[in-house]
Amino acid sequence: MTDSTQNIINETKNLLIETYAPQPVVLTHGEGAYVWDTDGKKYLDFAIGIAVASLGHAPQAVLKTINDQAAKMMICQASYATEPKLCAAKLLTENSCFDRVYFCNSGTESVEAALKCARKWAYDAKGEHCNEIIAFRNSFHGRTYGAASVTEKRMSQPYFGPYIPGVHFATFNDLDSVKALVSENTAAIIVEPIQGEGGLTPATQDFMKGLRALCDAHKIVFILDEVQAGSGRIGTLFAYPQFGIEPDIACVAKGLGAGFPVGAMLAKEEVGRAIVPGTHGTTFGGNPLACAVAATVLTEMLKKGFMENVQKVSAYFVEGLKKIQRDSNKITDIRGMGLMIGVDTTIEIKQFMRALQKNGLLTTQAGSKTLRLTPPLVITPAHAQEALDILEKTLREES
């Protein structure tokens, strides 16, 4: 590491509020599936901002949209209709089961909107007593107060309390544990189709169908948090079709902007119309620049062959991981769907990630012990093989 790189790291650490432990490298630029640091070292990026740069780094279609739209208009009040906002909303609703869209800036904001929408609907439809929410252990929905309140991590962070009341936690993939919590006060159930911080653990189809039936039987709003698993990440534009259900609300962000901050809450008509002027709003959400980018990203993802590529490369990559698992005694589990893959190993997770970084592969951690692999959705089998080679080499080197 050069003195210049170390100085950037040290000065940044001294100036910023420390929400993350600093990495030992400083990234400067990226292209496609690769990024480079200040020392000129090249890395294969299978982190991409935690499943954000869905089209890779510096995708030409997005760059063109940013340049064109920024020269026209970047911001106006949310009360104004704009063509980019209409275009993005049409692409989302015409390719999903939803009728209405609320644009925001991030995943946690989309979750906040979903919780408020569900509680407002329940207040109107069932009465003011109906405001409780069922979430799940090992969940992660964001860091603002509503989202943090339905994230089990709140249990280990009492210093942020009091959290919003009326939240109960069930066991993921255990329908009986949910049924035990349902009452006349239950307004909503919120669940990730694949738990991100919960170790890349997918829900089962039976569990998701059971949740849908339970919500139907008790008039409960069913919220699917697709912030990480949506936007093409598991091989379909939305995650919910792969589980054979339709939620009442879905939260999307991350890959929706391919690196540009944008999120959205999508709702079916009956639930979505509970939000009326004065009940919710946003300054930056739905701005013309963000919506133009989202529309471009959605257009790219809807092109023929895009999702098929995600599915093809996923199958290739997972088969390669299974081969390494068979040949090595260091991989203990492989989980996930599409290009949202978790790997457990016998090596301490932070040690393993540092070693992978040294060998040229960037990854992230999910939960306490899982290696999270979320590459760009546009990678090829050659990129997948490069990652497999680095993983295999690193597993041999680490004890």
Burial of 218 by CB count in 10 Å (0-12 exposed, 13-18 middle, 19+ buried)?
middle
248 and 267 Cβ atoms separated by less than 8 Å: yes
230 and 255 Cβ atoms separated by less than 8 Å: yes
In a domain, residue 64? The reply is: no
Whether the model clears a pTM of 0.85, i.e. scores above it, the answer is yes
Q: What is the mean pLDDT of residues 122-149?
A: 97
Query: What pLDDT, in 10s, does the model give residues 164-203?
Result: 999 999 999 999 999 999 999 999 999 999 999 989 999 9
Residue 143 has pLDDT above 80, yes or no: yes
Q: What is the mean pLDDT of residues 124-134?
A: 97
- The SS3 of residue 272 is helix
338 and 374 Cβ atoms separated by less than 8 Å: no
**pLDDT confidence of 399, banded at 50, 70, 90?**
low
Residue ending a domain, choose from 244, 274, 301: 301
Which of the 8 DSSP states describes residue 359?
Answer: T
Residue ending a domain, choose from 244, 275, 301: 301
Q: Do 230 and 98 fall into the same domain?
A: yes
What distance separates the 2 farthest-apart alpha carbons in the chain?
Answer: 63
Q: Write out the two tokens for 93.
A: 């609703």
In a domain, residue 140? The reply is: yes
What does the alpha-carbon distance between residue 66 and residue 294 come to, in Å, rounded to a whole number?
Answer: 11
Q: Do 216 and 129 fall into the same domain?
A: yes
What does the alpha-carbon distance between residue 28 and residue 250 come to, in Å, rounded to a whole number?
Answer: 34
- The SS3 of residue 391 is helix
Q: What is the mean pLDDT of residues 271-292?
A: 97
Average pLDDT, the chain: 96
Q: Write out the two tokens for 297.
A: 């990203």
Q: Do 309 and 288 fall into the same domain?
A: no
Query: What pLDDT, in 10s, does the model give residues 352-385?
Result: 999 999 999 999 999 889 999 999 999 999 999 9
In a domain, residue 126? The reply is: yes
Looking at residue 4, what is its pLDDT? 83
Residue 61 has pLDDT above 70, yes or no: yes
Domain that holds residue 145: 73-301
Looking at residue 22, what is its pLDDT? 87
Looking at residue 1, what is its pLDDT? 60
The CATH number that applies at residue 197 is 3.40.640.10
Q: Do 342 and 279 fall into the same domain?
A: no
Which ranges constitute the DSSP H helices of 140-220? 145-149, 175-179, 205-218
Q: Do 210 and 253 fall into the same domain?
A: yes
In a domain, residue 106? The reply is: yes
The CATH number that applies at residue 55 is 3.90.1150.10
- The SS3 of residue 134 is strand
∠ CA 54-266-169 to the nearest 5 degrees?
A: 90
In a domain, residue 129? The reply is: yes
Q: Do 311 and 292 fall into the same domain?
A: no
In a domain, residue 354? The reply is: yes
Alpha-carbon distances, residue 242 vs 31, 85, 114, 163 (angstroms) = 31, 27, 21, 33
Q: Do 89 and 183 fall into the same domain?
A: yes
Give the closest residue to 30 by CA, choosing from 43, 17, 47. 43
Number of other residues whose CB lies within 10 A of the CB of residue 111: 29
Give the closest residue to 274 by CA, choosing from 92, 79, 101, 123. 123
In a domain, residue 168? The reply is: yes
In a domain, residue 199? The reply is: yes
Q: Do 159 and 277 fall into the same domain?
A: yes
Q: Do 219 and 324 fall into the same domain?
A: no
Alpha-carbon distances, residue 365 vs 43, 101, 142, 166, 187 (angstroms) = 17, 31, 16, 30, 33
Q: Write out the two tokens for 215.
A: 């919500």
Residue ending a domain, choose from 246, 267, 301: 301
Q: Do 224 and 282 fall into the same domain?
A: yes
Which residues sit opposite 14 in a β-bridge? none
Put the strands of the sheet holding 42-45 in their side by side order. Answer: 27-31, 34-37, 42-45, 361-362
∠ CA 74-79-85 to the nearest 5 degrees?
A: 50
How many domains does the structure of the chain reveal? 2
Q: Do 10 and 49 fall into the same domain?
A: yes
- Provide CB contacts within 8 A for 326, sequence distance 6+: none
Number of other residues whose CB lies within 10 A of the CB of residue 257: 26
Q: Do 134 and 263 fall into the same domain?
A: yes
